[in-house]
Amino acid sequence: MQVVPFRTWAEVSRERIAANFHSVRNAVGPAVEVAAVVKADAYGHGSVEVSRVLAAQGAKWFAVSCVDEGVTLREAGIDARILVMADYFAYSRAALVEYRLTPVLHTLGDLRDLDAFARSRNTSLPFHLKIDTGMGRLGTLSGAAEIACAIKDASHLKFEGLMTHFASSADYTRPQTENQMAAFAKVSDSLCALGVSPTYVHMASTNPIAFGRREAWHNMVRPGHALYGYLSPARGAAPHPVLQVSPALQWKARILATKDVPAGSLIGYGGIYCASRPMRIAVLGVGYADGLSHRLSNRGHVIAAGRLVPILGAISMDVTTIDITNCPSLQAGDAVTLLGSEGTVSINAQQMARMAGTISYDVLCGIRTRVKRVYV
């Protein structure tokens, strides 16, 4: 077994990343392109290594949030298409050309500016256009006729994709997703009638894929959370998921010290935990500076020696205290599991998120860079 020389680390399974990708690939079928979302350092899993794994599995598209993320992939040797979904500034336009990145544009002003830039470079650039269909964030609210006119006037751009993003696609208690699909179809159909047709049409991230909203798939989908082993819980009468995925990341930390404390001992900052009995405690080399949420103070759990044990007192910047009274064999240097499984006991990011009052995306993306990533 590999000895990991770190106080806290995250083990990322290449095999599970690949299997999750193929689960998506098989669900949507060969006619639908899969753009793997590796933004935010692949949701904390490491964008470069994850992209290398997926490229080896046949991924032809990757989606990132900003130009810097795209540049990181290019400089690491990733040669697939890279879609930049939420970053379009004047200072980043040169990098789009230099690193062969494809921008998502959100306004017709952006479109005209990019066309002028491409003309000044005597080049032609592909782009995807985002429509705001009810999310209320990025995306144009312009009508089809105005969009078509702007696209036809852009002599140095190639209209490659039309997209939108859903606000509540796992919620089957209200019609917001259906309304967004209808709004998108109205614009898309009108553009086609005006002679403007993109190569790719895409709306669906993980949830519409997972719950089989096939009318949202079109010919490209953008899975993110599913690649890392998670599906959001649905609200209402949702169909059975068409995806089977497994978490790819386990987070571990080593014990720095153990000690026996008497009843009445106060633990940690503020003394917010008072031992009700004699206890054996362990101090872990992980804290909120590593991404373990301070909200888990006095309420979260970790897995120690195959048992679920409580966090005691306040989580500190660099250390966390746990109760190992029922795990007396544990010593300094031994590892415990923050996220993952030991035997029949497991904690996943969704469970940790519920305890911390947040979402699983936040838990995964919040694992800081000083937590070493180890690929297995």
Give 13's contacts (C-beta < 8 A, 6+ positions apart): 248, 249, 250, 376
**Residue from 299, 331, 332 nearest 313 by CA:** 299
Q: Residue 137: inside a domain, yes or no?
A: yes
- Taking CA atoms, 191 is separated from 57, 146, 183, in Å, by 35, 10, 13
- The rounded Cα 315 to chain-centroid distance in angstroms is 25
Give pLDDT, residue 39. Answer: 97
Q: Same domain for 220 and 269?
A: no
What is the extent of the structural domain holding 344? 249-375
| Tally of domains within the chain | 2
Q: Same domain for 194 and 115?
A: yes
Give the three-state DSSP class for 14.
helix
d(CA 204, CA 337): 33
Structure tokens at 133: 């269909």
Structure tokens at 64: 């990132």
Q: What is the mean pLDDT of residues 2-7?
A: 82
Q: Same domain for 147 and 76?
A: yes
Q: Using alpha carbons only, what angle is made at residue 96 by residues 95 and 102, rounded to the nearest 5 degrees?
A: 155
Q: Same domain for 218 and 260?
A: no
Provide, rounded to the nearest whole percent, the portion of the chain with pLDDT above 90: 96
d(CA 52, CA 65): 18
Strands 307-312 and 301-304: antiparallel
Q: Which 8-state DSSP code applies to residue 138?
A: S
d(CA 133, CA 140): 9
pLDDT of 357-368, one tens digit each?
A: 999 999 999 999
Residue 349 host element (H or E): helix 349-356
Number of Cβ within a 10 Å radius of residue 242? 16
Q: Residue 37: inside a domain, yes or no?
A: yes
d(CA 226, CA 322): 31
Residues with catalytic annotation?
39, 269
Q: Same domain for 339 and 220?
A: no
Q: What is the mean pLDDT of residues 90-112?
A: 95
Do residues 102 and 127 touch, judged by C-beta distance below 8 A? yes
Q: Residue 287: inside a domain, yes or no?
A: yes
Q: Residue 6: inside a domain, yes or no?
A: no
d(CA 213, CA 207): 8
pLDDT of 265-322, one tens digit each?
A: 999 999 999 999 999 999 999 999 999 999 999 999 999 999 999 999 999 999 999 9
pLDDT of 337-355, one tens digit each?
A: 999 999 999 999 999 999 9
Query: What is the SS3 assignment for 199-265?
Result: CEEECCCHHHHHCCCHHHCCCEECCCHHHHCCCCCCECCCCCCCCCCCCCEEEEEEEEEEEEECCCC
Q: Same domain for 174 and 58?
A: yes
Give pLDDT, residue 87. Answer: 86
Whether the model clears a pTM of 0.75, i.e. scores above it, the answer is yes
Q: Residue 16: inside a domain, yes or no?
A: no
Structure tokens at 29: 């079928």
Q: Residue 207 sits in a domain of what CATH number?
A: 3.20.20.10
- Residue where one domain finishes, among candidates 228, 260, 288: 228
Q: Same domain for 279 and 308?
A: yes
Q: Same domain for 38 and 180?
A: yes
Q: Residue 302 sits in a domain of what CATH number?
A: 2.40.37.10
Strands 249-261 and 335-342: antiparallel
- Residue where one domain finishes, among candidates 178, 194, 228: 228
Q: Residue 27: inside a domain, yes or no?
A: no
Q: What is the mean pLDDT of residues 96-122?
A: 96
pLDDT at position 1 over 60: no
Residue 112 host element (H or E): helix 108-120
Provide, rounded to the nearest whole percent, the portion of the chain with pLDDT above 70: 99
Number of Cβ within a 10 Å radius of residue 40? 18
pLDDT of 68-93, one tens digit each?
A: 999 999 999 999 999 999 988 889 99
Q: Residue 255: inside a domain, yes or no?
A: yes
Q: Same domain for 216 and 264?
A: no
Q: Residue 285: inside a domain, yes or no?
A: yes
Q: Same domain for 176 and 74?
A: yes
Q: Same domain for 223 and 253?
A: no
Give pLDDT, residue 2. Answer: 61
Give pLDDT, residue 4. Answer: 82
Q: Same domain for 218 and 257?
A: no
